[in-house]
Amino acid sequence: MFVPLSTLEQAVRLVDDVSELKDPSGFAELVLPALRQLIRCDAATYIEVGPHPAQVRCGEFFRPIPAEYQLAITLADPGKAVIGIALNRSRHDFTEADRAVLGVLREPLAAGLTRARRRVQAHAALRTAPSATLAELTDREWQ
C-alpha cells in the first residue's frame, strides 16, 4: 500500500489543528472539511449522541448525501457519547490507503476532542476557584 507524502503531511496538519482546538463545539467544523480534502469524498457526516436522549449534534447530516460507498469510524469518548464520522462517495469505493489513513487518525482525533473538552472544564474550574488556590499554580498548570 502506498500513501503519498502529501497525504501524510495533510494528516499531520489535521492532528496538529485538532490538538490545538480550544472549543470542542468546533470539532466537526474543523475535522469534516479536512477529512473531505484528505480522503476525497462527496460528503462527510458527523453525529454525536450524548448519554441523554436530547443530546444529539450533527454536521451535514440532514441533507441528501450521494452515498454508494461509505467509510466510517467511531471515536472513543470518555464522556460516554457515541461519536461517528462517515465519508461518502458516489462513484468509486475507498482504497486500502484511505482506510489506513482514517484508521490512523482515529485515536489522535479522539484525543484532541477529549483535550479540548478538558480545557473547557479546566477554564470553568479556574473561574470558580478561590484566589488563594490560584496563586499556588505554576505557569504550566495555568496552561
At 10-57, the pLDDT tens digits run 999 999 999 999 998 899 999 999 999 999 999 898 988 877 665 666
Cβ-contact 109, 18 below 8 angstroms: yes
Burial class, 111, CB count within 10 angstroms (exposed 0-12 / middle 13-18 / buried 19+) = middle
**Model confidence pTM above 0.85:** no
Q: Is 60 left (phi over 0), alpha (psi -120 to 50) or beta?
A: left
Alpha-carbon gap, residue 41 to 91, rounded angstroms: 9
